[in-house]
Amino acid sequence: MSADWLTYAPAPSASELDAAKQLIDAVRSSSFTTSLTEPDAHDFSSFLTTATALRYLRARKFNLKKATAMLTRSVKWRLDNQIHAISCEDVERFSTEGKMWVANKTDKKGRNVLVMDNDKEVPNSTSRKDQMRFLAWNLERSIRRNRLGRQIGVASFGKYATPLKSKQNVDNDDDNDEAGMVEKHVVFIKLDEFKLSTSPSIGSTLDTIDVVCNHYPERLGLAILYRPPKAFNALWSVAKRALDPTTQQKLLVVSDASPGSAGERDLEERLGPHWREISGIGQPTGTNAANGRRVSSGYCHKDVWRLVHLEEEAWRQHVRASSSKSEDTAASPAPAPFLSADDEEAYYSAEEFL
């Protein structure tokens, strides 16, 4: 099997497109979706695309009944947790130590990399629901970066990006098909400083797997467990049982990444020669001024958050442009760039910290 399945959305067949239409119709006819009001109705409509339906069908091997149950559960989860409404202001307090962030650089295949540092705490919150909303916000950010980058012909909306393949409108509609596009991401879990005292509970770990695998199916291209110690084995033995065989194929455990080691060669092959800059491994480490704790290596909150604000503004402009297009199909001038010249310079400058 080609490694492309770990990066790109495959082009669907006619029968798969027909199954996607059936799935969309089935979910749209559910009683809880027919009574939605704004802004929930807009999020539901934006989420329930052909590309989304195809991901859920692939995750359930095109069993329509199972895919319908899976997608319906995700729609309810998104509405209950107001995923579409989570802003950077809502989650910044969880981000100060670099517990989780989307790396500025993509890997060599153009995939965004979600870095998780298991040793860092989520400040000011013990709520599992808040932690899962923080995870969802990061996953949404990764997806949005790919979609924004598509508007300017590059992945991940940055100067270090990898060129994208040309867009294929596989079913002749206007729902932003992703066939041939980078639709998957990498999860890089730093376990080199793992401690039982700061490790997430088994419940939180299983919640994380549920969100990543069941609410964002077919988005994971690779999961890297970086230098897990023996203390991690007990937690992992429970967590691994929650992973299906396909997801387990996407796991890479790296016990040693010293120069010249097999682990280093694996990481260079999967992520590229700049894997340390992407993941923060071996990079400078700062201190959280509020509590004196060390932040995750390679993480600079001020610079990352400046980038986050620019991306959120670009996304708002994208949503406004998309809404205007749907309301007025008449010919109109070309849309303005997502970022002004000054903002674009600031965006690129912010990326230089890695």
Co-location of 281 and 300 in the same domain? yes
Domain boundary residue, one of 289, 304, 319: 304
Q: How many residues does the chain have?
A: 354
Cβ burial, residue 66 (10 Å; 0-12/13-18/19+) = middle
- Give the model's pLDDT for residue 259: 95
Co-location of 153 and 241 in the same domain? yes
Contact residues for 326 (Cβ-Cβ < 8 A; gap 6+): 174
- Whether 41 maps to a domain, the answer reads yes
Residue type for 163, please?
P
pLDDT tens, position by position, 24-67: 999 999 878 878 888 888 888 889 999 999 999 999 999 999 99
- CA 134 to chain centroid, in Å, comes to 11
Co-location of 73 and 114 in the same domain? no
pLDDT averaged over every residue in the chain: 83
With 60 as the cut, is the pLDDT of residue 350 above it? Answer: no
- Whether 325 maps to a domain, the answer reads no
pLDDT tens, position by position, 55-103: 999 999 999 999 999 999 999 999 999 999 999 999 998 998 999 999 9
From the list 246, 280, 252, the residue with the least C-alpha distance to 266 is: 252
Q: What three-state secondary structure class fits 63?
A: coil
Co-location of 118 and 150 in the same domain? yes
- Give the model's pLDDT for residue 125: 55
Co-location of 195 and 248 in the same domain? yes
- Give the model's pLDDT for residue 136: 98
Co-location of 212 and 250 in the same domain? yes
Co-location of 280 and 238 in the same domain? yes
With 50 as the cut, is the pLDDT of residue 335 above it? Answer: no
Full domain range(s) for residue 224: 92-304
Contact residues for 84 (Cβ-Cβ < 8 A; gap 6+): 39, 40, 42, 43, 46, 47, 78
- Whether 339 maps to a domain, the answer reads no
Going 210 to 1 to 138 to 280, the CA torsion angle's sign is positive
Co-location of 71 and 36 in the same domain? yes
- Whether 318 maps to a domain, the answer reads no
Co-location of 32 and 169 in the same domain? no
- Residue 231 dihedral angles phi and psi, to the nearest 5°: -65, -20
Co-location of 71 and 156 in the same domain? no
Q: pTM higher than 0.75 for the full model? A: yes
Instruction: Give the CATH number of the domain where residue 263 resides.
Output: 3.40.525.10
- Whether 64 maps to a domain, the answer reads yes
Contact 306, 346 (CB under 8 A): yes
- Whether 313 maps to a domain, the answer reads no
Co-location of 14 and 111 in the same domain? no
* Count of domains observed in the chain: 2
For range 220-238, the mean pLDDT: 94
| pLDDT band with cut points at 50, 70 and 90 for residue 317 | confident
Co-location of 203 and 65 in the same domain? no
- Quickly tell me which residue has 């980058």 as its tokens: 149
